Structure 1
Amino acid sequence: MEIRFESSECNGEELVKNFEKDFETSSLIEAEYSEFKEGVTGTVKEIHLNNAFVLCQDYKNTNTECYTLKVSHNHPVFLLQFSMEGGLSFFSNHSPDKKFILNKNAYNLFFIPASTYTYNYHSDKKHFLNIYFTESYLLSKMGFCFIRSLKKYQKAKKENNLSALFDDGLILNAKLRNIVNEFLNCSFDGMTRQSYLESKLTELVLTALMSTPSKKDSNKLRNEEIEALTNIENYIQNHLKEELTIEKLSLKAGFNTSKFKKVFKQVYGMPVFKYITALRIEKAKQLIEEYNYTIAQASYKVGYKNPQHFTVAFKKKMGYLPSELIK
């Protein structure tokens, strides 16, 4: 199996990856790239686990030109793609008029036959997690009944067409974000690291794909209501230090308080305050680990007036004290 990546942000240089059948490997293989054109900063990380290849794009460009990524492969694959920041559209070079879109805070499962396809990015900031695997991996994780239920996949496979298996995509909720962050920020080494990453990847795939029935409920919401909730999620993420009340958030979303609480849980899979707490803990953990904040500084930064209250909330969610992050 071969996958070729050619990015205009990397001076048009082509990255060629060769794999055994079904991405088989007995060892963990990782690499990181940070050489881009002038004005582009960040990293691209790759993680090759047994039966899966993961590519994480996390970079930003300050130039105004439109950047593209061209991907080619010689074997049909699934792509489970998560957008944490930025949106994109892509198309098969065989059918350029049929475009697939992945918006910010969304994910989708794509079936991609052996082909070449092109990505166009919609914003200067890009943070995407791309997980490639074959049918055998999906079969081992989800079972035959799940694959048989994917009518779009059966049709796309028969006709050899690129297909998005979940319509316009599913909401990337806080639970999935936490798993993504735990996967990308693994601190273990050696065999422990490989075992941890494999287990987290399985958890991520299962959680993402088993969350799909809730899409039936979210389909009952109008597009503008989904957009309003997405805007509220962005607001929460950017204002964690502030006091966030149901009244304030529902007013900004344009709902009454009872409807806001109902549709928020319907789309994100948890109550509003549980979601806010998860984001605050996640942000504080990052500040302590990556930016050497003290526990008190991090707790204030994410909206806790009392560091002891933060410590209690952190221990309840994470299972250990925030002081262990410093150790």
Structure 2
Amino acid sequence: MEFRFKNSECNGGELVKIFNKDFETTSLSEEEYSDCRAGINCTIKETHVNNAFVFFQDYNNEKSSEGHTLQVIQNHPVFLLQFVIDGEVTFTSSGTVNKDFSLNKNTYNLFYIPASKYSYKYHNHQKRVLNLYFTESFLADKMDFGFIKDLKKYEQAKKKNQFYAFFNKGLVLNRQLKSILNEFLNCSFNGRTKQSYLESKLTELVLIALTSKDSEITANKLRKEEREALIKIENYIQTHLKEELSIEKLSVLAGFNTSKFKSLFKEVYGMPVFRYITSLRIEKAIRLISNHDYTITQASYEVGYKNPQHFTVAFKKKLGYLPSELINKGLYALLWLCG
């Protein structure tokens, strides 16, 4: 299989990638580079593990709000699971039937792409997008095709060599998927351990992403401004964990009444607002204790608990053991590897 990437913001011209059938490989291959025009901060990471190829793009054009285009030519049909972490992407096919698919920040979709030429148009000055490529045999090995709403339409598209989007307007990129993406992109292992870890994370990512039925229903129901308001609030929560976060305050910031805010938040993120906040606080506290040598008291204050005892109670209720055991028994790695 051959892929040709041509990026309008890079200096290196066309990038050609050659793969064995079904992306088969016995070893882990990684490459990271930054070769963009002046004024553009960019990082491109490529990861090739057995049966999958990941192409991650992180761009920030400080001098212009205009977007750019990535053109791709491939000579073999593949699946693309695309996650838009930041920015907005329009996916345009060029063939017998021209069709555009757009994804906004914090959304994702699964595409079937025949052997063809197509392009990604990035509309914002800042964008973070992860493209995961694999073939049908990868899906068949990991799961059945029960997630496909209309198998007949997919089979017709495949027969006619046409693009096909499995989810009409894309799905919501929830906290669980963001966590998996972050763990994949920031893996600290080496050698064979790293290869096994990345392969397992990609499997987890595909399974969770394609079985999130509730996210599809919610994404299709939400208006663009509602989705953007929830994304704004999620970002606010993550950056203000040390502060007091009330339903009333967050509802006002979102522009909803409290009832609508609580309902939409639970539908999109799969849990009530306060449970979500508690989860984020505990996760951050774990990182502070395990990676930065914070005491339990210091960490509890840093994530918004005025009384360390209240933090200990919440921690024990959620995880089933005391925060002191992170230090005494080295449970941090176990917690994160098991999700």
Give the TM bin, normalised by the shorter chain: 0.7 to 0.9
Deviations along 1:284-325, one digit per CA (max 9) or x if unpaired, are: 677789xx7553677655544567766776785698737967
Residues 66 and 177 of structure 1, relative CA distance in 2, 3 Å threshold = closer
Give the stretch that moved more between structures: 80-89 or 218-227.
218-227
Deviations along 1:20-70, one digit per CA (max 9) or x if unpaired, are: 101011111111112222112242111111111011112322131532211
Q: Helix, strand or coil: the match of 1:36? A: coil
Is 2:246 the partner of 1:245? yes
Q: Kindly, what percent of the aligned residue pairs are identical?
A: 64
Residues 267 and 248 of structure 1, relative CA distance in 2, 3 Å threshold = same
Is 2:21 the partner of 1:14? no
Residues 317 and 162 of structure 1, relative CA distance in 2, 3 Å threshold = farther
- Structure 2 unmatched runs, 5+: 334-339
| Matching of residues 87-236 of structure 1 within 5 Å | 87-94=88-95, 98-146=99-147, 149-236=150-237
Aligned length: 324
Q: CA deviation at 1:263?
A: 1.9
| Matching of residues 52-63 of structure 1 within 5 Å | 52-63=52-63
Residues 226 and 95 of structure 1, relative CA distance in 2, 3 Å threshold = farther
RMSD: 3.1
Structure 2 residue identity aligned to 1:133: F
Equivalent-residue separation in structure 2 for 1:69 and 1:93 (angstroms): 13
Q: CA deviation at 1:279?
A: 3.7
Equivalent residue number for residue 295 of structure 1: 294
Structure 1 residue identity aligned to 2:100: K
Residues 147 and 210 in structure 2, CA contact (< 8 A), matched pair in contact too: no
Residues 282 and 113 of structure 1, relative CA distance in 2, 3 Å threshold = farther
Structure 1 residue identity aligned to 2:19: F
Equivalent residue number for residue 326 of structure 2: 321
Q: CA deviation at 1:216?
A: 2.8
Q: CA deviation at 1:258?
A: 3.0
Residues 251 and 257 in structure 2, CA contact (< 8 A), matched pair in contact too: yes
Residues 149 and 93 of structure 1, relative CA distance in 2, 3 Å threshold = closer
Q: Helix, strand or coil: the match of 1:15? A: strand
Residues 44 and 55 in structure 1, CA contact (< 8 A), matched pair in contact too: yes
Equivalent-residue separation in structure 1 for 2:147 and 2:74 (angstroms): 25
Structure 1 residue identity aligned to 2:32: E
Equivalent-residue separation in structure 2 for 1:69 and 1:191 (angstroms): 32
Q: Helix, strand or coil: the match of 1:295? A: coil
Q: CA deviation at 1:124?
A: 1.8
Q: CA deviation at 1:200?
A: 1.2
Residues 81 and 130 in structure 1, CA contact (< 8 A), matched pair in contact too: yes
Equivalent-residue separation in structure 2 for 1:216 and 1:67 (angstroms): 31
Q: Helix, strand or coil: the match of 2:228? A: helix
Equivalent residue number for residue 336 of structure 2: none
Equivalent-residue separation in structure 2 for 1:36 and 1:284 (angstroms): 37
Q: CA deviation at 1:198?
A: 1.1
Residues 212 and 154 of structure 1, relative CA distance in 2, 3 Å threshold = farther
Give the stretch that moved more between structures: 165-174 or 273-282.
273-282
| Matching of residues 237-276 of structure 1 within 5 Å | 237-276=238-277
Structure 2 residue identity aligned to 1:3: F
Q: CA deviation at 1:156?
A: 1.9
Residues 233 and 51 of structure 1, relative CA distance in 2, 3 Å threshold = same
Q: Helix, strand or coil: the match of 2:326? A: coil
Q: How does the TM-score come out when normalised to structure 1?
A: 0.86
Residues 175 and 151 of structure 1, relative CA distance in 2, 3 Å threshold = farther
* Structure label with greater radius of gyration: 2
Residues 174 and 278 in structure 1, CA contact (< 8 A), matched pair in contact too: no
- Structure 1 unmatched runs, 5+: none
Equivalent-residue separation in structure 1 for 2:289 and 2:35 (angstroms): 28
Equivalent residue number for residue 31 of structure 1: 31
Residues 78 and 134 in structure 1, CA contact (< 8 A), matched pair in contact too: yes
Deviations along 1:242-266, one digit per CA (max 9) or x if unpaired, are: 2211111122323332332222111
Deviations along 1:144-196, one digit per CA (max 9) or x if unpaired, are: 44458544422321221122210111111111111111111211112211111
Equivalent-residue separation in structure 1 for 2:141 and 2:63 (angstroms): 43
Q: How does the TM-score come out when normalised to structure 2?
A: 0.83
Is 2:40 the partner of 1:40? yes
Equivalent-residue separation in structure 2 for 1:81 and 1:318 (angstroms): 35
Residues 41 and 61 in structure 1, CA contact (< 8 A), matched pair in contact too: yes
Equivalent residue number for residue 337 of structure 2: none
Q: Helix, strand or coil: the match of 2:121? A: strand
Structure 1 residue identity aligned to 2:92: F
